[in-house]
Structure 1
Amino acid sequence: MNPVSRVLVVSDDAAWQADVLAELAAVAGKMANPFGLCFEGVGRSSDALARAGSDGEVQIVLVDKGLKEKGTTQPAVQLANQINRLRPELSLYILLQDDDEKVVMEELASHAIDGYFYRDERDFNGWFRILAAEMGEKAATPFYDKLKQYVRMAKDSWHTPGHAGGDSLKGSPWVGDFYDFVGEEMLRADLSVSVPMLDSLLHPTGVIAEAQTLAAKAFGAKKTYFATNGTSTSNKVIFQTLLAPGDKLLLDRNCHKSVHHGVILSGAQPVYLDSSVNRQYGIFGPVPKQVIFDAIAANPDARVLILTSCTYDGLRYDLKPIIEAAHTAGIKVIVDEAWYGHARFHHAFRPTALESGADYVTQSTHKILSAFSQASMIHVNDPTFDEHLFRENFNMHTSTSPQYNLIASLDVARKQAVTEGFRLLDRALKLAQELRQKINSTGAFRVLELDDLLPESVSGDGVQLDPTKLTVDISQSGYSADELQRALFERFNIQIEKSTFNTITLLLTVGTTRSKMSRLFDALLRLAKEQRPPRVLGKMPEIPGFSRLACLPRDAFYEAGERLPLLDDDGLPNPALTGRVCCDQIVPYPPGIPVLVPGQVIEANIVAYMARLLKTQKSIEMHGLAEEGGEFCVRVLRNDELTGLPSRAWFN
């Protein structure tokens, strides 16, 4: 299938426009045209915006600087800026009459413009070559192309990895099926730093550097770095770059556990902000805006604020006023956009965190776009960015033997996002709306809307919902969440994203198809027709609020401590834990919010919460508890250890 790259020529000079379109079409018919450049005209700004906002095959817009529209003094300038806001991945060229017009455009819209043509030059072969080259740059995958080239060179491998391009597996009576399953090309492309032409992720100067530069342009960053250890490692890298031991940071308690691990590794002093809670559905939302503002005001020495936007359930902050308040206080802002890496490429999802002013953004490119698992990106817009320090921390966490197929997948995912991301996301949005209606029609299942999901404490905070994340209320179906997941998997071959006690979450992406949607709807409809009576679903106990820190998390984590049982001899919450200081991060999953972090003082209600979870929520995993002799234990500081910690004085 050949691509189509539509070029819109916007001009109200109908005769001139018709001539230009005919000439460019003639050139396209006789010259090499690998990107399928084709040309169409529109006469008004409104028509151009409508086409750009609805046609995913529009790739380039040519705007006549002489465009005239009633009530607008500079319609070409206005249109350039509007197109850039609507679809920043589009290439935009201005058709000029003279150099004076170029000066005006540069003053008012230079950030939006990729180039200029002069109307009277009529060098249509030259125009076409430039536009084709523009598409070539946008569609380039420098690392992936070089990787393919190297594989096709068929070099003998006398270096790592040990399978030597799959030769150790091929033809084996024991493991030859793995060779067949994975495929020859994938194994041949599994290479190492011993191949100089493929550049180095730890010190990129060639094709990896080129691929990262293209990604920065695509996502709106000054610098972009590819990460093959996932967003978990990306968060830790940024923490160690920005925070020295004892530095204070503000963080959403609902952040991913990698953020809490980053607190330990960096030696930072955290100020935990409790998330909003939707108790009806067991869903945790953003931190209330006023809580963030109050924390900024109360901690003038804070260096960093980190937030998660959007959340696992699709709730995203109104980031701009929060970031402005943080910057006014001299605080750097990190946004974990692990679940929102697609947002740049459709106006329904924007503004992104970078567009809202964030200094650092981490994205799991593999979650929503077409990269392989573990493939992520770090985007940087920090005006005081210390690249050397960042690189030292990046290299501390990054493997010296990165998976080159992961890097290639990031290169390819970026290319797809800028060339057809709008079209694919537009399809996902339409399928999401249709799926909402179909699920609601079953009578037993209902897709929750923003008002249903939004905790009351953030109802006036401008929080928005990513419509491609569908949270379905199952309470009228007669199924428990575990039973429903099992039925979908075993009877209908469907695997969902996650669940709470009375909801399931469905994730639509650029890979969602109508056929998949049809099969899911059919499954839910069949289950609804069973007409099971609604059942009372036991709610998860409410997670206790954060207590307080007795010392830095890092200090508590690195002490040996002692292990005390969670339950006493009678099977009740162990009172001996009350008042002790936890050494580990203990996370019930789901929901994935730490109930205890290293350095936190344990209170009786926290012990009771963990004990109740173990007894009543069998599907919950309790990460961080030690298990000894069939008993769950909590690692806590010994009294002599706590007394000897220098950071203890900071919290008394």
Structure 2
Amino acid sequence: MKFRFPVIIIDEDFRSENSSGLGIRVLAKAIEAEGFEVLGVTSYGDLTSFAQQQSRASAFILSIDDNEFVEENRDALDNLRKFVDEIRYRNDEIPIFLHGETRTSRHIPNEILRELNGFIHMYEDTPEFVARYILREARTYLDSLAPPFFKALTEYAADGSYSWHCPGHSGGVAFLKSPVGQMFHQFFGENMLRADVCNAVDELGQLLDHTGPVAASERNAARIYNCDHLYFVTNGTSTSNKMVWNSTVAPGDVVVVDRNCHKSILHAIIMTGAVPVFLMPTRNHFGIIGPIPKSEFEWDNIQKKIDRNPFILDKKVKPRVLTITQSTYDGVLYNVEEIKDMLDGKIDTLHFDEAWLPHATFHDFYGDYHAIGEGRPRCKESMVFSTQSTHKLLAGLSQASQILVQDAENNKLDRDIFNEAYLMHTSTSPQYSIVASIDVAAAMMEAPGGTALVEESLMEALDFRRAMRKVGVEWGADWWFKVWGPDDLSEDGLE
């Protein structure tokens, strides 16, 4: 399938009739002759906004003027450095080329040159040769974008394969036989319908036993999220939670549970026949449910809850799982490393329901306030699970979820037992568009792009808070909304 990723040329003379303008347009025409679209602009205006276009480009060509790059003119170098830095802040793979006279390159500092894919000399080589050189790099870049399952799915949908199995619409053909079906087909489009296939398609792998491109994508996502195992789930984090519990909890097991847990955890308690002891959260005068006090996590206090529970006969029992809602439904986070230090070895499994926190591992802003991430120490005895809703705060389709696992030093995931629980709750007819969206959402979050996406969201949230406070100050004694959060918000930045 051919995707639309134009080559973006930035040249102030792009529409001029001078030699520079004529030369760059000849190059643009040669690129178009190779089947690529060219987007020519005379300036990039707001640099940050322009750099965001890296998501829709296959390469950048920036023309530079030799007369500007002299020792006395530091502004030209500073602008070039900012341009390259803004692109690389979001994308360290997209090709960037400079286009100028031969002697210009000697004025470019090494820290800029090393971020470039090439320097195109204006009056050397033919435009056709230069175009092929640029597009070789662009194609290599584009070929690297799609993660394994999404790549296999797009290739299958574009391959013209007939569907001889379910679903019954047979790649969308059934919809073409009815007026209302025609409407459905036109609304959703042929790609979605051709990609809606049975799990028996060998070349796409198998979600149920984690083979082929599905398994490759789960391994790729595990690498991106810095966990030992990662599993795609198409039934939402409600189902992910039940999978974790059914793989770890048996009838009569004692479990330690956040009283402000999701209903799926209550369902899991009922389904497994576990005996719960609850950790009680706090609530402030706004009605906001806050965190569980640290004292509730102290083992002596958990033991007291076990001692007082009439349904627990063995008072020395080791709880099977701890489940914490992380973050709370009002956005309060727990320091996971403190919880691990307090309960490692006391409870077999530490499960963090991070339905609203899949983004936290991609930015230092969140520190130790999420379950699994780069450089996070392992527990010695307790395995760590994180269940995340890819569809809530990342780019997954509705119901997209995933399960992350970090093995303990002395307690490794039994994949066979886990997969029996996985099979108990997953569908034997998974929607592959959801699987592809989990795959793509993980690829989108790979550094540096994921860090940039999270930082932009954080800055937008903080700027909103600053604006609300500004209105409140200017409004004076009259009533205005208050945004819940720290009182000592800085004037700018992420503090």
TM norm structure 2: 0.64
* Aligned residue in 1 for 2:429: 401
In the alignment, structure 1 residue 168 sits paired with structure 2 residue 174: yes
Deviation of residue 247 (structure 1)?
A: 0.6
Tell me: CA distance 1:2–1:350, structure 2 relative to 1, closer, same or farther (3 Å).
farther
In the alignment, structure 1 residue 59 sits paired with structure 2 residue 92: yes
* Aligned residue in 2 for 1:414: 442
RMSD: 3.4
Matches of 2:87 and 2:290 in 1, distance apart? 32
* Aligned residue in 2 for 1:348: 365
Matches of 2:272 and 2:469 in 1, distance apart? 47
Tell me: CA distance 1:326–1:451, structure 2 relative to 1, closer, same or farther (3 Å).
farther
Matches of 2:207 and 2:486 in 1, distance apart? 41
Answer yes or no: is the 8 Å Cα contact 1:304–1:331 preserved in 2: yes
In the alignment, structure 1 residue 359 sits paired with structure 2 residue 384: yes
* Aligned residue in 2 for 1:189: 195
Answer yes or no: is the 8 Å Cα contact 2:399–2:434 preserved in 1: yes
Match runs of 1:65-464 below 5 Å:
139-170=145-176, 172-278=178-284, 280-293=285-298, 294-298=300-304, 299=306, 301-351=318-368, 352-355=370-373, 357=378, 359-383=384-408, 384-419=412-447, 420-443=449-472, 444-450=480-486
Q: Helix, strand or coil for the counterpart of 2:92? A: strand
Residue type at the aligned position of 2:350: V
Answer yes or no: is the 8 Å Cα contact 1:250–1:295 preserved in 2: no
Residue type at the aligned position of 1:372: L
Residue type at the aligned position of 2:90: E
* Aligned residue in 1 for 2:81: none
Deviation of residue 175 (structure 1)?
A: 3.4
Encode CA deviations 1:269-324: one digit per residue, 9 max, x unaligned: 1101211112x221112211111214444455212111111122211001111112
Answer yes or no: is the 8 Å Cα contact 1:285–1:315 preserved in 2: yes
Matches of 1:346 and 1:138 in 2, distance apart? 24
Q: Helix, strand or coil for the counterpart of 1:360? A: strand
Q: Using the TM superposition, name which of 305-314 and 395-404 deviates more.
A: 305-314
Matches of 2:191 and 2:140 in 1, distance apart? 30
Tell me: CA distance 1:58–1:172, structure 2 relative to 1, closer, same or farther (3 Å).
closer
Residue type at the aligned position of 2:172: G
Higher RCO (CA < 8 A, seq sep 6+): 2
Matches of 1:288 and 1:141 in 2, distance apart? 42
Q: Helix, strand or coil for the counterpart of 2:446? A: helix
Residue type at the aligned position of 2:325: T
Give the strand-richer structure, 1 or 2: 1
Deviation of residue 440 (structure 1)?
A: 2.9
Matches of 2:347 and 2:223 in 1, distance apart? 27
Which stretches in structure 2 are left out of the alignment for 5+ residues? 9-56, 62-83, 94-136, 307-315, 473-479
Deviation of residue 363 (structure 1)?
A: 0.4
Residue type at the aligned position of 1:377: Q
Matches of 2:60 and 2:209 in 1, distance apart? 37
Deviation of residue 193 (structure 1)?
A: 1.5
Residue type at the aligned position of 1:59: D
Matches of 2:452 and 2:458 in 1, distance apart? 10
Residue type at the aligned position of 1:368: L
Q: Helix, strand or coil for the counterpart of 1:393? A: helix
Q: Using the TM superposition, name which of 134-143 and 380-389 deviates more.
A: 134-143
Deviation of residue 378 (structure 1)?
A: 0.3
Q: Helix, strand or coil for the counterpart of 2:187? A: helix
Matches of 2:253 and 2:59 in 1, distance apart? 54
Answer yes or no: is the 8 Å Cα contact 2:174–2:181 preserved in 1: no
Q: Helix, strand or coil for the counterpart of 1:276? A: coil
* Aligned residue in 2 for 1:604: none
Deviation of residue 417 (structure 1)?
A: 0.7
Which stretches in structure 1 are left out of the alignment for 5+ residues? 5-33, 39-50, 61-130, 453-466, 469-652
Q: Helix, strand or coil for the counterpart of 1:212? A: helix
Encode CA deviations 1:381-439: one digit per residue, 9 max, x unaligned: 13321110000010011000000000000111111111521222221112112111222
Counting aligned pairs with the same residue, the percent is 39
